Amino acid sequence: MTGGVPSLEDLPHLKDKRVLVRADFNVPTQGGVITDDLRIVSALPTIQWLRDHDASVVLCSHFGRPKGQPDPQYSLAPVAARLAELLGIDVPLAPEVVGATAADMEVSLGRGDVMLLENLRFHPGETTNDPGFAVSLAEPVDVYVNDAFGACHRAHASVVGPPRLLPSAAGRLLQREVEVLSGMLNAPKHPFIALLGGSKVSDKLGVIDALLERCDTILVGGAMAFTFLAAQGLEIGDSLVEPDRIDDCRRLLETGRVQIPVDIVIAQEISETAATRIVGAGRIPEGWKGLDIGPESAAIFSDVIAEARMVLWNGPMGVFEMTPFASGTQAVAHAVADCSGFTIIGGGDSAAAVRQFGLADQIDHVSTGGGASLELIEHGDLPGLVALREGMTHS
């Protein structure tokens, strides 16, 4: 057992057993073509380990947001095709999530065979955590493995149902996520620096409170910084602000351990051709909005990061997808990559940013679950992890 959840080694004898693997194949696509296969590649170690132990593998995942019924634009067909390429074997896609056809395909699998069930969210029972749907998923298989860290914060049927019914364990990806994030929370190395960005401070208030119990300094950028600036009575122009969170930001600033930008890149529009200016953080004129941290802020943040023994980064410093507003995020991404301490990217847009800048291989841990990593930090546990621990008695 690792990180408080059972691992693959804790499973019973797997020869000729059918293993249901909950993966996270919710990959970005454009026109039906996968644009980033990181989540598929990340599942390969678990799939291959099970195949090496003479099991057959039934993969399942959600993809997009279909409304509890089949929708061709959310079919997992592109994922099945990419898995077949990566594994070098046929990976048939069941035409349904549960039912006679899917069950027949599962039962007919041989040692080392791999198949994929159609999108879990084509069935209304997935998101409503219907016990009957969980039973239907579990019936044709012998063992359950959760390798979908990015879905562990949701009490959905495929995440919390099977551990009550089958011998269950965490896959390699989930195990690593739990080890790293639990280690960061329970035994952080100091100085421990958190770098937080993104659009809404309301999404991160609980996370900031949890981190303040462990961090030495929290660096705040992105649009959420403007509510902190407003809390100081500074001029933020037309920048994004959450007026109902100003008192919370004032309280956090009073800790003396939250640092906010000193300069800002501003523009009148969000576009690739926008004319930009750099101004002091509290001097944004009407009609202008802050869209990135300025170079002085980026330098200050980078210096703090350079001294850290542990860094957690979640959320970009600006609208990094557009060239005029990418410099702040790029500067801190390089600072995190160059840091000699243990570095963790908390998924989401920050993970996309380090990949965009070609720095992902210089980060110690890039989480595959933005929402899940934030919930684990805030609450110390996740429904999917609880289910695995409570289901250990079946193993």
Which of the residue ranges 69-78, 251-260, 342-351 would you say has the lowest mean pLDDT? 342-351
Percentage with pLDDT > 70 across the chain: 98
* Distance of alpha carbon 154 from alpha carbon 361, whole angstroms: 29
Whether the predicted pLDDT of 255 surpasses 90: yes
Instruction: Please report whether residue 394 resides in a domain.
Output: no
Whether the predicted pLDDT of 108 surpasses 60: yes
**Same domain membership, residue 222 and residue 335:** yes
**Same domain membership, residue 112 and residue 27:** yes
**Same domain membership, residue 272 and residue 369:** yes
Number of domains in the chain: 2
User: How high is the pLDDT of residue 390?
Assistant: 92
0.95 surpassed by pTM: no
For the CA atoms of 84, 87, 90, 94, the dihedral, rounded to the nearest 10 degrees, stands at: -60
8 Å CB contact between 220 and 264: no
Instruction: Please report whether residue 391 resides in a domain.
Output: no
Instruction: Please report whether residue 27 resides in a domain.
Output: yes
**Same domain membership, residue 169 and residue 121:** yes
User: How high is the pLDDT of residue 392?
Assistant: 59
SS3 at position 258: strand
User: How high is the pLDDT of residue 15?
Assistant: 96
**Same domain membership, residue 195 and residue 166:** no
**Same domain membership, residue 124 and residue 248:** no
Last residue of a domain, one of 148, 174, 200: 174
**Same domain membership, residue 168 and residue 219:** no
Last residue of a domain, one of 124, 150, 174: 174
For the chain, give the mean pLDDT: 95
Instruction: Please report whether residue 79 resides in a domain.
Output: yes
Instruction: Please report whether residue 256 resides in a domain.
Output: yes
Type and span of the H or E element at 128? none
User: How high is the pLDDT of residue 348?
Assistant: 80
Catalytic positions, written as ranges: 39, 200, 348, 371
Whether the predicted pLDDT of 2 surpasses 70: no
User: How high is the pLDDT of residue 125?
Assistant: 97
Write the pLDDT tens digit of every residue in 167-196: 999 999 999 999 999 999 999 999 999 999
Q: For residue 241, give Cα distances in angstroms to 146, 238, 363.
A: 38, 8, 31
User: How high is the pLDDT of residue 1?
Assistant: 41
Per-residue confidence band for 50, with pLDDT thresholds at 50, 70 and 90: very high
**Same domain membership, residue 199 and residue 156:** no
CATH number at residue 310: 3.40.50.1260
**Cβ contacts of residue 9 below 8 Å, gap of 6+?**
none
**Cβ contacts of residue 321 below 8 Å, gap of 6+?**
none
What single-letter amino acid sits at 22?
Answer: R
User: How high is the pLDDT of residue 328?
Assistant: 97
The first and second tokens of residue 331, run together, are 């500067």
- Give the distance from CA 215 to its chain's centroid: 21
Domain range enclosing 296: 188-378
Whether the predicted pLDDT of 394 surpasses 70: no
The angle that helices 77-87 and 38-52 make with each other, rounded to 10 degrees, is 60
| DSSP string of 303-334, one letter each residue | HHHHT-SEEEEES-SS-TTSGGG-HHHHHHHH
The end-to-end CA distance of the chain, in Å, is 12
Per-residue confidence band for 293, with pLDDT thresholds at 50, 70 and 90: very high
Instruction: Please report whether residue 179 resides in a domain.
Output: no
**Same domain membership, residue 160 and residue 230:** no
**Same domain membership, residue 344 and residue 242:** yes
| DSSP string of 180-199, one letter each residue | HHHHHHHS--SSEEEEE-SS
**Same domain membership, residue 155 and residue 36:** yes
Write the pLDDT tens digit of every residue in 17-29: 999 999 999 999 9
Instruction: Please report whether residue 37 resides in a domain.
Output: yes
Cα torsion 376, 381, 382, 388: sign: positive
**Same domain membership, residue 205 and residue 161:** no
* Distance of alpha carbon 294 from alpha carbon 305, whole angstroms: 16
